[in-house]
Structure 1
């Protein structure tokens, strides 16, 4: 029979990781709701807009990382 072991839960992050997960969900929900209300679209369309914005931010971060990381490879330290 399986027993609840709080030490295993605490070792993997436990309650803190669950709380941070819920906080992220609430923040994402606020963003998606805001987009849907401002633009007057459904929540599904707002979700895709939000994911598109996150994708653009990730792509720009990737480009900036490659731009600034390539300059350091040429230097002799």
Structure 2
């Protein structure tokens, strides 16, 4: 992730995890309410690697970002 870099210090890594969750929560909110591409949303939240973004998103929400987006398109 472009904005959040992992660090070996525990305080820094706790901060990185916290920021990552906030950013992922923001992308979930946007993907579940607004019709924008996954890439657009990921990049706008500072994620520079779409593969890593999708992996982190899936781990946090149990589904790929494209599935969240497709549920919006159906409604």
The normalised TM-score by structure 2 is: 0.42
Rg larger in structure: 1
Structure having the higher helix fraction is 1
Higher relative contact order (CA 8 A, sep 6+): 2
| TM value normalised by structure 1 | 0.41
